[in-house]
Structure 1
Amino acid sequence: MSDLTDARTYGRHEPVAIVGIGCRLPARIENPTGLWQALLDGVDAVRQVPDDRWNVTAWAAAEASGGAANRRGGFLDDVAGFDAEHFGIPPAEARQMDPQQRIALEVACAAVEDARRSTASLAGTRTGVFMGAMWQEYPLFTQGAAEAIHAHSAIGWDNSVIPSRIAYALGLRGPAMGVATASSSSLVAVHLAVQSLRSGESDFALAGGVNLMLHPNTSVAMTKLGTQSPDGLCRAFDADGDGYARGEGCAVVALRRLSDALADGDRVYALVHGSAVNNDGATDGLTAPGHEAQTEVLRSAWENAGVAPSSVAYVEAHGTGTPLGDVTEAGALGTVFGPGRPAPLRIGSAKTNFGHLEAAAGVLGLVKAALAVHHGVLPPSLHFRTPNPRIDFSAERLDVVTEAAAWPDGPRFAGVSSFGYGGTNAHVALGEAPGSPSAPAAPDEGGPVCLAVSGTNPDALARNAARLAEHLGQAPGTSLSDVAHALATT
């Protein structure tokens, strides 16, 4: 009879360490180093809809129905490329996979590698996968063409398969859960991953979200809903805020209990001290934000963290730039974080850089805040010129970050908010990693360093080499010896 006493119970409030980050974002961002530089530089990645995304006829029909307010968004350069051979996926099956599945699989692997682990090392382990996704546009391309539907289509089109696809490819034995709470999906996924780690259900976790814009229908629908800015600029908390542009991308974080991360000497970007999820319930409308529920989710997350809200220096806001959304969110922030503050709460929104990544927006905000905590710098929020007169910034004790600034003195605590238009709200409480003695640097002898780069075929090898070169170019101070060691062991 097996020993059942090894079902360990872990502390409900143990911090969870962010030990790895994978991302693929507009402006050709494919790693956290590139993302951090883009944030510091104030990059606005919103642009015209690429010609290869959808055709003029489709747009003409949308405009005729009054649905196309703008032709801008935060687009990835390539959503079709996929190294199916690397994952052992037959070409016929790969063609039926929604590009969201393909990209999520690749970015999840990047998060594992950024955590300085090989994907093979996780096979058979209690690693959980929690992924948010929202739209299912890929099947629209088969309408009226039954011959295009394949035996692999059902699995390839199903968003709930995204985490299972990752678990299957890497041989992971923890829970694999898809999350669909609209814009809050990926931050709810992080919340679930933290719970899984704290309960002992998982020993390692991957959490994130993915969002692509493959067909004009959703953009037309969101425009008719009234969320889209006519010029594609998200002006969060600004007097001229009139919505946002949609965005696409994927981000995944690798998570461990802090005690395990410290025992193994992991690099830690930031700590998740607490999190909370709730719903607006009955408000003025299904999509109308709720001040009371937002206030409750903020307060609950920091109570879960055991940290006074007045100690929090920065919140990465939901920040959509919509007139009602910004006013409601600012009121909730002021209610929870305003009392007893020594200085105003700094706030910002990554939607001003990349558009609204919808199901992936929450985890993008989490990564931005984690990098800010890690580097001790607050990156700017864009397009803020005139404070929204419906928000009393002085009374609410709020201040939008418009220029990169050093983190205020004291412990680094940051919040991240993400609110779904169906009413599901999420907030995560972050803090800085504990100080740890750095490993002695390897002697720099000024000689050549061998960097091992692999690929399943010559084209894949060339792509991987190009990505490595780009990464090194973005991080000139990187130790080549450390890179060589990481490449040799992952």
Structure 2
Amino acid sequence: LSRAVAWLTDAFAEVLRIPVRELEPAAPLEVYGADSLITMEVADRVERELGADIGPLPFLGGTIGSVAEVLAAAGKFAGDGTNAPPDSTGADRRAVDGDQAPAGVRDSAPVGQADRTAAEPALVPGGRSDARPGTPPNTRPPQPIAVIGMAGRFPGADSLDAFWENLRTGRRAVREVPEDRWTRSEHHDAPGRAPHRWGGFLDGVDLFDPRLFRISPREAERMDPQERLFLQCVWEALEDSGSTAEGLREGAGTADVGVFAGVSGSPYQQLSLERWGRGHREAPPSGTWSVANRVSHVYRFGGPSIAVDTVCSSSLTALHLACESLRSGECAAAVAGGVSLVLHPSHHLALSAAAMLSSDGRGRAFSADGDGIVTGEGVGAVVLKPLEAALRDGDRVHGVLLASGINTNSSAGAYATPDRDAQHRLIRGVLDRAGLSPGDVQYVEAASAGSPLADPLEAMALGEAYGPESGLYVGSVKPAVGHLEAASGMAQLTKVLLQLRYGRLAPTLDCDPPHPAVAESGLRPVRAETPWTR
């Protein structure tokens, strides 16, 4: 056991850049700032150098001593040197254990973990989002919200009809980086890691008709493509609702129409700064706030206009805020959605450096073979009204949102580490608010994307919330299109609404062999197109 402790101490000291003498085997790893990215890096080293595939779960809430016991139980560091690690003494150890720690600090943005902080409608109560426990079961459920219009563009699909056909038939829309984004010479991967060249990309993201929206060509050139895409998507969602912007405004009366857009970061601004550095002195593109404000201006919507950045949960948080605004009377109708584009290679570089990307371009949700996510792009929007108003106005109703909620992983310990207890409280709380019991739910569209840490924790949370005997159907859109980050919630919601429309559950790709946590939680990944009898 002492050899395992010594090896792990060296490994954490090197990754954390903390002298060995300052690490206590009995101290919680979180006190040293060992977040999920750091524990993943050490777990990867354990597998690579020791041949021990213990995964990241033993590190959660653990200590160096407790992880060493797991290694010892796996037969490592036993007997006369079998499975012994390389010599960790000498110059390398002295360099870490010197009088002064190496200069610099770790600076890694936990992009892929952010959808552990999300908003989730009760229509899909277990999708990866953490929401505040709702009202007690005896409290009157909140006002139901109707989805009366929807639109979206997702990888491999410029329309929702094409999107459904891809989902139904199990078509994978992940591909290599298009040449019009960046060249291979511009794409420098993280040192020591294989190049990651895959993603779910949209076509024609530069195409835009400015005159249709009363925008000058000059101004359109300065607009972030994410802003232009979302503006067009809202147009299509309004068309799907059978209404016009004017009709929606008139129906809303003095309460007016709100706009809530999920968007995280602006790669177009990065490109603009590079042009500035090359001598092109031009006005920078507008910020992400304009994604929502532009819609409000063009369509003359006078209600709340809010751009939401909670990274991967952005579009579901926007959806939650829109529902709450409708229930409070701040607006009488609302548009909610999200958009995300990958326009700069630095995004792949950051995720690759954090060891968050799949090794072969496949995000294996629910699978024991999952080793990372695949990025993706998309845009989606829904038009919302209180159900009572939608029925009164004769609107077509795609689905009803009974309740939603948000919270965060603040009690998980290490920063960016998913918290299955928070997710469990979210699910049960939103079910309570909606007036539902776990047995009322037949299907959950999860946020599983292939993460070896987050996916099993989500499965455990779902099993605890719905019961290991539930036989609950679960699915994930992400293996088919990639993780769309700020727009991922719209892909999830749209998939569920389409499944409701057609009465079929679409298959989840690459979910075998199932992770033990999935089997133990009683979950049933949808492996083939399945009738949904309600």
- Is TM more than 0.5 here? yes
Letter aligned with residue 86 of structure 1:
L
Q: Distance in 2 between matches of 1:100 and 1:224?
A: 25
CA change 1:19–1:64 in 2 (3 A) is closer
- Deviation sequence 1:366-422 (CA, Å, 0-9, x none): 111122123221111111221113x152x42210000111114x4xxxxxxxxxxxx
2:404 is matched with 275
Q: Distance in 2 between matches of 1:330 and 1:53?
A: 35
Q: Secondary structure at the match of 2:356?
A: coil
2:455 aligned residue (312, 317, 326): 326
CA change 1:257–1:223 in 2 (3 A) is same
Q: Distance in 1 between matches of 2:287 and 2:379?
A: 17
1:243 is matched with 372
Q: Distance in 2 between matches of 1:328 and 1:149?
A: 48
Q: Secondary structure at the match of 2:381?
A: strand
Determine if the alignment matches structure 1 residue 183 to structure 2 residue 327.
no
For residue 15 of structure 1, report the CA deviation from its aligned partner. 1.1
Q: Distance in 1 between matches of 2:281 and 2:155?
A: 30
1:306 is matched with 435
1:44 is matched with 172
Letter aligned with residue 525 of structure 2:
V
2:210 is matched with 84
2:142 is matched with 13
Q: Distance in 2 between matches of 1:392 and 1:380?
A: 16
2:31 is matched with none
Determine if the alignment matches structure 1 residue 103 to structure 2 residue 103.
no
Q: Distance in 2 between matches of 1:32 and 1:323?
A: 31
Q: Distance in 1 between matches of 2:199 and 2:468?
A: 38
Letter aligned with residue 173 of structure 2:
A
Letter aligned with residue 414 of structure 2:
G
For residue 248 of structure 1, report the CA deviation from its aligned partner. 0.1
Contact 1:18 1:255 in 2 (8 A): yes
For residue 253 of structure 1, report the CA deviation from its aligned partner. 0.8
Q: Distance in 2 between matches of 1:214 and 1:184?
A: 20
1:209 is matched with 338
1:220 aligned residue (349, 352, 364): 349
Contact 1:67 1:221 in 2 (8 A): no
2:523 aligned residue (386, 393, 398): 398
Letter aligned with residue 330 of structure 1:
A
Contact 1:122 1:171 in 2 (8 A): no
Q: Distance in 2 between matches of 1:132 and 1:113?
A: 21
CA change 1:72–1:392 in 2 (3 A) is closer
1:345 aligned residue (464, 472, 482): 472
1:57 is matched with 185
2:508 is matched with 381
For residue 97 of structure 1, report the CA deviation from its aligned partner. 0.7
2:21 is matched with none
Q: Secondary structure at the match of 1:210?
A: strand
2:532 aligned residue (403, 407, 411): 407
1:357 aligned residue (484, 491, 494): 484
- Deviation sequence 1:306-363 (CA, Å, 0-9, x none): 111111000000112111111100000001112673xx10001110110000000012
CA change 1:237–1:336 in 2 (3 A) is same
Contact 1:186 1:208 in 2 (8 A): yes
Contact 1:163 1:176 in 2 (8 A): yes
Letter aligned with residue 128 of structure 1:
G
Q: Distance in 2 between matches of 1:205 and 1:241?
A: 38
Q: Distance in 1 between matches of 2:142 and 2:310?
A: 25
For residue 139 of structure 1, report the CA deviation from its aligned partner. 1.5
Letter aligned with residue 230 of structure 2:
A
For residue 66 of structure 1, report the CA deviation from its aligned partner. 4.3
Contact 2:380 2:491 in 1 (8 A): yes
2:257 is matched with 127
Q: Name whichever structure is richer in strand by fraction.
A: 1
Aligned residues: 389
Alignment of 1:473-484 (within 5 A): none
CA change 1:392–1:385 in 2 (3 A) is closer
Q: Distance in 1 between matches of 2:258 and 2:193?
A: 40
Long gaps (5+) in structure 1: 1-10, 411-490
Contact 1:69 1:228 in 2 (8 A): no
For residue 143 of structure 1, report the CA deviation from its aligned partner. 2.8
Q: Distance in 2 between matches of 1:70 and 1:298?
A: 34
CA change 1:12–1:162 in 2 (3 A) is farther
Q: Distance in 1 between matches of 2:217 and 2:518?
A: 57
Q: Distance in 2 between matches of 1:52 and 1:88?
A: 28
1:292 is matched with 421
CA change 1:392–1:164 in 2 (3 A) is closer
Determine if the alignment matches structure 1 residue 258 to structure 2 residue 387.
yes
2:323 is matched with 194
Contact 1:22 1:251 in 2 (8 A): yes
For residue 299 of structure 1, report the CA deviation from its aligned partner. 1.2
- Deviation sequence 1:45-84 (CA, Å, 0-9, x none): 000100111123212xx13744663101000111111111
Alignment of 1:411-490 (within 5 A): none
1:232 aligned residue (361, 379, 384): 361
1:173 is matched with 302
Larger radius of gyration between Structure 1 and Structure 2: 2
Contact 1:113 1:119 in 2 (8 A): no
Q: Secondary structure at the match of 2:206?
A: coil
Determine if the alignment matches structure 1 residue 70 to structure 2 residue 233.
no
Letter aligned with residue 49 of structure 1:
V
Q: Distance in 2 between matches of 1:337 and 1:258?
A: 27
Q: Distance in 1 between matches of 2:469 and 2:523?
A: 13
Determine if the alignment matches structure 1 residue 137 to structure 2 residue 267.
yes
CA change 1:380–1:171 in 2 (3 A) is same
Q: Secondary structure at the match of 2:450?
A: coil
1:455 is matched with none
Letter aligned with residue 382 of structure 2:
V
1:419 is matched with none
Letter aligned with residue 436 of structure 2:
V
Q: Secondary structure at the match of 1:347?
A: strand
Q: Distance in 1 between matches of 2:146 and 2:238?
A: 14
CA change 1:149–1:300 in 2 (3 A) is farther
Q: Secondary structure at the match of 1:187?
A: helix
For residue 292 of structure 1, report the CA deviation from its aligned partner. 1.0
Letter aligned with residue 292 of structure 1:
D
1:426 is matched with none
Contact 2:366 2:518 in 1 (8 A): no
Given the two structures, how large is their TM-score scaled by the length of structure 1? 0.76
